[in-house]
């Protein structure tokens, strides 16, 4: 094992600077954290070349983290706008940013993003390959796909979504079964198409050892992509999804043998009553590796409100074992999100993550709520605003509707239960 990854260091009993930072942030004993990293149950995405990184831990016993997606595309290729989104996401306390760029000066954007981001940066190399080589999908070679991974790793990308689980057997399972929405993963659809057009195995599966060698050299965390994630409630927990999950479990063990850190990506669109089972299944089949979910969305009927459908599913998923939530904005399924869409998506995901942390008993999570309740009991408006997950919106709502009595709001006025209970319990008869 010639690599010097966080996992390898942990197995050797070496406490890295990144482990010390994460232990302090999570209020966990560093020796316990080192044990979890060694076992693969916690990852610390930390590329050796990401010099501005303020590392975070993702996995068992850690606070639930959230990721924000952005990037340039052919239809929306304004690099400065996307960098502005990145800065905004960081101000709103996103834990990670994924660059999904697939058009134009992708490397320049990626490098600038890494330079400004103390949060972990992720990418999906297969997206970049299509735009970078400027040729038909089927003519891209396995070496070229791996070449993009190498470029991203060298630039300092901390984690990469690699759809290695959709091998020819998984593809055959998908084709044998009836799916309402087929393959909705962009990377999964590209690789399925490549395999069909070339009659060959998925290059990321066939040359997985070469992929691990690249990731090991730079300490890139592999986020094993869910090409067959369900894109509708009807397709949830079907044969293709589960078959791919079994393959991802095998690939996880192979990565751990090389000392490479791994996360598993999960669904998608899942009925509320199936979410907990999906989390248990993923953790079981993938040996306790950290689990990263897109949503999951609990209904298919809410375009324009999918930050809500996602937050509902995300809270249940994280409470049931998911470790990392990918935010979903109101623009999901409709268009590239704006700054305001991004804010709504981030706040919704953070609420879901925090609610799950309370359910999971994460140290200190409940204290935030207790502090807010104390401020409400005291009708301490300035303290409530300080504690609010979105102080700007809370202050705005208060300012837009001023009450007659400063210690009330315009909902109840002098009938405010909190105000009157405080007065009565303090012996006042002047309500």
Q: Which residues belong to the annotated binding site for Zn(2+)?
A: 269, 333
Q: Token digits for 130?
A: 């299509």
E-strand ranges in 166-238 read 221-224
Tokens 């074992």 locate to 321
DSSP secondary structure letter of residue 273? G
Q: Token digits for 109?
A: 């954007």
Sign for the CA dihedral angle at 302, 304, 305, 310 comes to positive
- 307 sits in which H/E element: helix 306-319
Q: What are phi and psi for residue 266, nearest 5 degrees?
A: -130, -175
Contacts made by residues 110-115, CB under 8 angstroms, sequence distance 24+: 110/152, 110/155, 110/157, 111/155, 111/156, 112/79, 112/83, 113/83, 113/86, 114/50, 114/52, 114/155, 114/156, 114/157, 115/52
Q: Token digits for 139?
A: 């003519």
Binding site residue list for substrate = 69, 98, 127, 163, 185-187, 226-229, 265, 292
Closest CA to 320 of 370, 372, 361, 356: 356
Binding site residue list = 69, 98, 127, 163, 185-187, 226-229, 265, 269, 292, 333, 409, 412, 416
- 66 sits in which H/E element: strand 65-70
Report whether 273 contacts 310 (CB < 8 A).
no
d(CA 162, CA 204): 7
- How many residues make up the chain in this entry? 431
Binding site residue list for [4Fe-4S] cluster = 409, 412, 416
């Amino acid at each position: 094992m010639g690599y010097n990854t966080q996992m390898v260091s942990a197995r050797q009993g070496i406490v890295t600077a990144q482990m010390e930072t994460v232990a302090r942030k999570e209020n966990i004993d560093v020796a316990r954290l080192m044990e979890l990293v060694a076992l693969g149950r916690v990852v610390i995405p930390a590329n050796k070349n990401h010099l501005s990184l303020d590392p975070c831990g993702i996995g068992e016993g850690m606070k639930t983290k959230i990721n924000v997606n952005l990037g340039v595309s052919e239809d929306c290729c304004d690099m400065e706008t996307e960098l502005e989104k990145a800065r905004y996401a960081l101000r709103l306390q996103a834990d990670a940013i994924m660059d999904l760029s697939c058009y134009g000066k992708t490397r320049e954007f990626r490098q600038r993003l890494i330079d400004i981001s103390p949060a972990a940066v992720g990418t999906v190399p297969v997206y970049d390959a299509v735009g970078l080589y400027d040729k038909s999908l089927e003519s891209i070679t396995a070496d070229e796909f791996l070449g993009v991974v190498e470029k991203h790793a060298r630039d300092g990308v901390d984690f990469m979504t690699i759809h290695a689980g959709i091998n020819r057997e998984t593809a055959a399972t998908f084709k044998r079964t009836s799916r309402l929405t087929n393959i909705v993963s962009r990377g999964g659809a590209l690789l399925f198409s490549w395999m069909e057009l070339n009659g060959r195995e998925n290059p990321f599966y066939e040359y997985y050892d070469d992929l691990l060698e690249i990731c090991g050299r730079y300490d890139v965390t592999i986020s094993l992509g869910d090409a067959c994630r369900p894109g509708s409630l009807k397709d949830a927990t079907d044969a293709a999804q589960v078959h791919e999950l079994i393959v991802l479990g095998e690939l996880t063990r192979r990565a751990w043998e090389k000392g490479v850190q791994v996360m598993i990506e999960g669904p998608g669109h899942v009925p509320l009553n199936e979410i907990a089972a999906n989390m248990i299944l993923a953790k079981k089949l993938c040996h306790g590796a950290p689990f990263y979910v897109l949503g999951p969305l609990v209904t298919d009927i809410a375009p324009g409100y999918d930050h809500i459908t996602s937050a509902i599913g995300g809270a249940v998923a994280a409470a049931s074992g998911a470790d990392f939530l990918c935010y979903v904005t109101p623009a999901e399924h409709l268009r590239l999100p704006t700054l305001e869409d991004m804010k709504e998506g981030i706040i919704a995901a953070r609420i879901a993550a925090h609610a799950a942390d309370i359910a999971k008993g994460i140290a200190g999570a409940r204290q935030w709520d207790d502090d807010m309740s104390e401020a409400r009991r005291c009708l301490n408006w300035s303290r409530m605003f300080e504690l609010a997950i979105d102080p700007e919106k809370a202050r705005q709502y208060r300012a837009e509707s001023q009450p007659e009595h400063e210690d009330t709001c315009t909902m109840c006025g002098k009938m405010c239960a909190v105000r009157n209970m405080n007065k009565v319990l303090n012996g006042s008869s002047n309500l």
